[in-house]
Chains A and B, each alone.
Chain A
């Protein structure tokens, strides 16, 4: 059940047209295949993606390490928002860090004390504060246009068992600003199920991937223990693939499997894909030649060979 604020957000998500794609440094750097998947899928789904070389990083890891306070983080983001405001009010992100920082910055800009401090600094550079935006996670955008995806889809998920991981910064940092229940999320499960896959549930669904923003760096043993507990629970549901919506979580969930094999004696090799990559596959883009998904730490190509074209699955069901 969505609360009124969440329903309002769902209503405001566009079904086509211009959107601003907020650049995520983690996607650009670690997962260009996600970036390519986003662009290709959005084009097929009739969105025009705008972006800007003037946009800077969201500074999320700095904000969560006290290296950017609210004024500092919001000033950097207010400049980004002023620039984006000249294009559109619909901002789409592929990263939970950017998503949560954008929402926090907007919340801050509504506080008079913060606004009054930032306004004169930005106006020295000729920028005017803008704060009327829809901050949309790409997973939410796909959910909104799911009927369109189902019409255009070329590939059926063919009963593949899939585990989901939403990530803390999406689910819980701004629980009233997402279009699914933060404690019982169903957004990804709905997409997977409608596209022919089988979402599996596991006890540690809520658990952090183990990154804890900086825990992988500052407390690596504790971080690995958390990843291990998560992956152990997840692997009991024997999924063939994990779908995540944040590049930082993806990187942790992929890399931890190597360390878990060495340190914890649990051999796993479960591919981790971003929802953009899954949607691009469903829309018919070739996982190898067009999306280069074997660039991931854990190669998903062998498992993807199972997937059949939509017509095939339907006819085999009839037969």
Chain B
């Protein structure tokens, strides 16, 4: 892998074990974040950081320290609000939101996070059943407003959606997720 490993200003410059970092870069669609200058602007404006132990700068450092297990077992990766305030302030435009989603994914692959994620299981359940994430509507209010009483996908659409979800493996992934949430 041809990375410009010299472009960051880092204390561990001479003793890097960047297996975890390289793994992420190889497998995921994310721009190299070795450019992080550890300036801390991301943390200064972060709403999660000012209210919890979440610290995006330290998380990047942990990745460069090859601290995979620590991170995917941590509570902190689940604190990010995915609000992008960090990236808009970051001089290097590091994709921190994307990075947090990747860490969460790796945690989920190791069976972590389902104690939290079970609280969102209604979303994927409703999506599989109706093709809509929020399917419930107030029929009488809709009628009074002169809107169609119900929002229902056509049968053809439901069939096509089912075909796509099977083809891309999303259906299986959601079903497995729902099982893991109920364990």
Residues of B110-159 at the interface with A, using a CB-CB cut-off of 8 Å, are 116-117, 119-120, 123-124, 127, 131-138, 141-142, 144-147, 151-154, 156-157
CB distance from A38 to the nearest CB of B (A): 10
When the two chains form the complex, which single residue of A33, A56, A71, A219 contacts B161, counting CB atoms closer than 8 Å? A56
What total of A-B pairs shows CB separation below 8 Å? 168
Q: Which chain B residues border A68 with CB–CB below 8 Å?
A: 170
**Contact assessment for B119 and A26 in the assembled complex, using a CB-CB cutoff below 8 Å:** no
Specify which chain B residues have a CB less than 8 angstroms from the CB of A219 in the assembled complex. Answer: 78-79, 116
The residue of chain A having its C-beta at the shortest distance from the C-beta of B157 within the complex is A54
With A57-B127, A168-B83, A295-B141 given, is the CB distance from A218 to B119 under 8 Å?
Answer: yes
A residues 181-215 touching B (CB-CB < 8 Å): 182-183, 206-208, 212-215
Is B164 in contact with chain A by the CB < 8 A criterion? yes
Given contacts A23-B151, A206-B85, A213-B82, contact A65 B160 (CB under 8 A): no
Question: Does B182 count as interface, using CB distance less than 8 angstroms?
Answer: no
Given contacts A25-B134, A32-B147, A64-B101, contact A218 B84 (CB under 8 A): no
Chain A residue at smallest Cβ distance from B123: A61
Assembled-state Cα–Cα distance A7/B132 (Å): 34
**Chain B, residue nearest A61 (CB):** B123
Report whether A183 and B88 are in contact in the complex, using a CB–CB cutoff of 8 Å. yes
Q: Is A35 an interface residue (CB 8 A)?
A: yes
Q: Among A12-20, A72-80, A145-153, A254-262, which stretch is in contact with chain B?
A: A72-80
Does B87 belong to the interface (CB within 8 Å)?
A: yes
**Interface 1/0s, chain B 90-114, versus A by CB < 8 A?**
0000000000010011001000000
A303 interfacial by beta-carbon distance below 8 Å: no
**A225 to B163, alpha carbons, bound, how many Å?**
42
Closest to A125 in B: B160
Chain B: interface residue count, which band?
35 or more
Q: Is A265 among interface residues, defined by CB-CB distance under 8 A? A: no
Q: Does B174 sit at the interface, judged by CB under 8 A?
A: yes
Q: Which residues on B sit within 8 Å (CB–CB) of A62?
A: 123-124, 127, 133, 174
CA distance A173 to B87 in the complex (A): 9
Are A218 and B133 neighbours in the complex by a CB distance under 8 Å?
A: no
Report whether B134 and A28 are in contact in the complex, using a CB–CB cutoff of 8 Å. Answer: yes
- What sequence of 0s and 1s flags, for each residue 44-66 of chain B, a beta carbon within 8 Å of any chain A beta carbon? 01011001100000000000000
Given the contacts A59-B127, A121-B168, A175 and B52 also touching, CB distance less than 8 Å = no
Check B83–A25 contact: CB distance below 8 A.
no
In the bound complex, residues from chain A placing their C-beta under 8 Å from that of B136 are: 29
B15 at the binding interface (Cβ < 8 Å): no
Are A53 and B78 in contact, CB atoms less than 8 angstroms apart? no
B108 x A218 contact (CB < 8 A): no
- Are the C-beta atoms of A66 and B157 separated by less than 8 Å? no
Shortest CB-to-CB span from B68 to chain A, Å, is 17
- How far is A13 from B182 in the complex, measured between Cα atoms in Å? 47
A120's nearest neighbour on chain B, judged by CB, is B167
Given contacts A53-B154, A124-B163, 18 further A-B contacts (CB under 8 A): A28-B151, A32-B147, A53-B157, A56-B153, A61-B123, A64-B101, A66-B105, A67-B124, A67-B177, A68-B170, A72-B173, A76-B164, A125-B164, A182-B88, A206-B45, A208-B47, A214-B117, A226-B48
Binding site for A on B (CB under 8 A): 29, 45, 47-48, 51-52, 78-85, 87-88, 101, 104-105, 108, 116-117, 119-120, 123-124, 127, 131-138, 141-142, 144-147, 151-154, 156-157, 160-161, 163-165, 167-170, 173-174, 177
16 CB-based A-B contacts, threshold 8 Å:
A25-B132, A26-B133, A32-B142, A33-B141, A36-B145, A36-B146, A55-B157, A56-B153, A56-B161, A57-B131, A61-B123, A70-B29, A75-B164, A125-B160, A212-B81, A217-B120
